[in-house]
A and B are shown apart, each in its own frame.
Chain A
Amino acid sequence: MNGVEGSSVTDVAFWVVSAIAIAASIMVVTLRDIFRAALFLALSFLAVAGLYILLRAEFLAVVQILVYVGAISILIVFAIVLVRDMPGGGKDNHLKVVAATVAALLGALAIFVSYNSDFTNLDALESSNADVAAALTGTYDLDASNAVGDEYEDQIAVAPPEGAEGTEIGIFSNSTGSIGGLFIRDFVLPFEAVSVLLLAAMIGALALLRQRGEES
């Protein structure tokens, strides 16, 4: 994200949000009090939603907040409340060093890969990053006459032209519309498959939760 003019605000926001996400994740795995760990997990999810906004994936950010912060974290908290004699944190075990080493190696690999690899789709993102910076400082204006803004405005004001949803710019500038378009056009089949999947999972969950008395 470096090197793009006018993106310093984005940079700051990125580092702050990332720091929050990382710190919260560390708290999740180190805290002994499971309830607090759950709350930090929610915070970590929230920070990841912030990262999605910075990546201009608003739809994903909203889904992240609804599903992860709103549903999954609450579910975990409920589980903690209902299971009263929850042990306070896991026991120490001798694999701690091994686990830490493996995690550090994998982390290093992930960082190495993200620095050294040529993620072509990110180019499109960088070129449109200036808009985000403008939006964050409050100077972004739909009527602004700069070229980038106009291009962006066109894309949100009117529906994307036929066949344009898949272009790289389209993915990053109007993600909600693009995702919706993809769901009902190209990816309608997997979309429907997901509904069958959810049905199977739901029935399975109900079958497994049935009380013994109702079995007869």
Chain B
Amino acid sequence: MSANVNVNLLTPEFILAGMGLLVLSLDLVLPKARRGILPWIGVAGLIAAVATALIYRWDRVEELYGGVFIADRYSLFFFAFLVILGGAVMIASVDYVKQHIKFPGEYYGILIFSILGMVLMASAGELLTAYIAMELLSFSLYVLVALRKYDSKSNESAAKYILLGAFSSAIMLYGISMVWGVTGTTFYDGIAAHLTANPDLDIGLIVGLSLIVAGLGFKVAAVPFHMWAPDVYEGAPTPVTAYLAIGSKAAAFALILRLFSEGLLPAIEDWRVLIATLAAATMVLGNLVAIRQENIKRMLAYSSIGQVGYLLLGVASLGVVDAGGAVVFSERASTGIMVHLVGYAVANLAAFLVVAVVYSRTGSDQISDYRGLAKKSPYLSLVLSVALFSLAGLPFFAGFVTKFYLFTAGAEAGFLWLSGLAMVASLVSLYYYLRVIQRAYVDQPSEGDEETAVERSTFFVPLTSWLMLGVLFVGMILIGVWPTELAAAADSASDALGTVRDVSTALVR
């Protein structure tokens, strides 16, 4: 069967890998003054990859290598989403890299490799492939976090990230080995078949799945595996922090969504309460601790932990047990997760980009230093406000619609209490988001106050950042008032997850 593998289908992945190599090696031959062109070559390559993927895979459902790699609408949705996201992060880093990084080729090359890892995570139909794709992403992120090696904060956060990342990988691998030991397969559909045939879970399978959940929990920073996130987010270069908060989480949820809906769905009764508990703890703790943060990057870190809680609510609602006792896949939940991921990504990237621009002018990430931002740069504070409102889920912005999809799905699956909790948590989040906005717009220096870092600095927004912020701003509003297209795309991706594919003859089952 391997002889007739349609390698053409992998062209987009080949383009990504090739672009990574090209950008890396161009760095060697280009004269220094011309290296500014590297990110744009990379972005062009990413656009080419997305275009090829759309052309080659538009109406294809195919399993390559007996299910190791799955090309379907779901993979396609995440391919487009994750590559565009990576490209946006790349553009968002242009100004930062110019200022702080001497060898841009390494930064952009590794960034492209990490994008390759992300898209493989979404299309892997098998645990080991998914794991390796995740490591490709993680290793690239370790390097990106550590790239400012003379900054002691960056060093500290990189060390923490690498150690905990390796630790969580080990936990996950141990879990995979146990699942393999019991089921004899690492393929999602094989696991699903085993779970259907043996409804009473073996103790080894229970422990194995719990370990996999713990390992993935570390990667998405769900409570109680979240301790590393705020420190790492604070220490990493801001564009990389944005990438950590958005890209790695979106990719991890792409993996989780496929694994849980194609592999573990038959056993949903056994894990939905566990996931729901994690979701509740994550959204409560993330949002409560965010209130106390004085550093805006830490605040956004905790707020993104809270967002993970909402997404886990969607995962817990992935299946509904009907009257006959059969498990029915809930497309609404998976659509909700995908739509919320997109909305969250756009809003969070905008917020982090504003933080990056402010930092490059003032050298401060303290929320107290944001006083006077509205006067210095109305544009920045407008985008920041919209981004934070969207994260909080106010109407007319992306977050409202996406949260609506997600929480409805949760309520439908019987998690009314959790959806209610999520709404309360969103209200809490509004409080600390508003604090930043109040700083930027309302607060006036009183008698005897020192000038804040923002008030001292001269402000101008570099052109690339300006344009990028504009695009994100439009995106947030667009998703907020006209979400139908996005929801339709996510819907058809969910369809792909719900459909049982024709399982071709695989060598290893």
Contact = CB atoms under 8 A, between A and B. Distances in A.
A215 B101 CA distance: 9
Contacts of A190: 68, 128-129, 132-133
Nearest to A192: B17
A121 B181 contact: yes
Contacts of B181: 117, 119-122
A114 to B, nearest CB: 8
Interface in B148-182: 149-150, 178, 180-182
Nearest to A187: B68
A121 B184 contact: yes
A189 B69 contact: yes
A187 B2 CA distance: 10
Interface of A: 109, 112-114, 116-122, 163, 165-166, 168, 182, 185-190, 193-194, 196-197, 199-201, 203-204, 207-208, 212, 215-216
Contact of B204 (A119, A188, A207): A119
Contacts of A109: 207
22 contacts: A117-B181, A117-B203, A119-B204, A120-B183, A121-B180, A121-B181, A122-B181, A165-B507, A166-B506, A186-B506, A187-B129, A189-B120, A190-B128, A193-B132, A197-B117, A200-B139, A201-B139, A204-B140, A204-B146, A208-B143, A208-B146, A216-B102
Contacts of A168: 184
Contacts of A186: 2, 65-66, 68, 506-508
Given A165-B508, A196-B113, A208-B146, A117 B139 contact: no
Contacts of B135: 197
Interface stretch (B40-48, B103-111, B224-232): B103-111
Interface centre among A121, A182, A190, A201 (most CB of B within 10 A): A190
Given A120-B183, A166-B509, A193-B133, 6 more contacts: A113-B178, A114-B204, A118-B182, A186-B2, A186-B66, A200-B114
A112 B178 CA distance: 13
A212 B102 CA distance: 11
A52 B10 CA distance: 35
Contacts, number: 121
B143 A200 contact: yes
B198 to A, nearest CB: 9
Interface in B465-509: 505-509
Closest 8 CB pairs of A and B: A117-B204, A204-B143, A166-B508, A119-B181, A190-B129, A197-B136, A200-B113, A190-B132
B202 A187 contact: no
Interface in B221-271: none
B129 A112 contact: no
A189 B65 contact: yes
Contacts of A201: 139, 143
Contacts of A185: 2, 65, 507
Given A186-B68, A197-B135, A207-B143, A113 B508 contact: no
Nearest to B183: A120
A118 B69 CA distance: 29
A119 B223 CA distance: 31
B142 interface: yes
A207 B103 contact: yes
B64 interface: yes
A44 B396 CA distance: 61
B136 A203 contact: no
A41 to B, nearest CB: 16
A193 B24 contact: no
Contacts of A121: 180-181, 184
B129 to A, nearest CB: 4
B207 A203 contact: no
Given A117-B203, A119-B182, A188-B65, A199 B113 contact: yes
Contact of A193 (B64, B136, B178, B202): B136
A26 B72 CA distance: 49
Contacts of B286: none
A158 to B, nearest CB: 18
Contacts of B116: 193, 196
A116 B205 CA distance: 11
A120 B191 CA distance: 13
A117 B120 CA distance: 32
Contacts of A193: 116-117, 120, 129, 132-133, 136
A204 B508 CA distance: 34
Contacts of B505: 163
Interface centre among A165, A193, A212 (most CB of B within 10 A): A193
A121 B202 CA distance: 14
Contacts of B69: 189
A203 B65 contact: no
B147 interface: yes
Contact of B17 (A112, A196, A212): A196
Contacts of A117: 178, 181-182, 202-205, 207
Nearest to B103: A207
B136 A208 contact: no
Contacts of B133: 190, 193
B306 interface: no
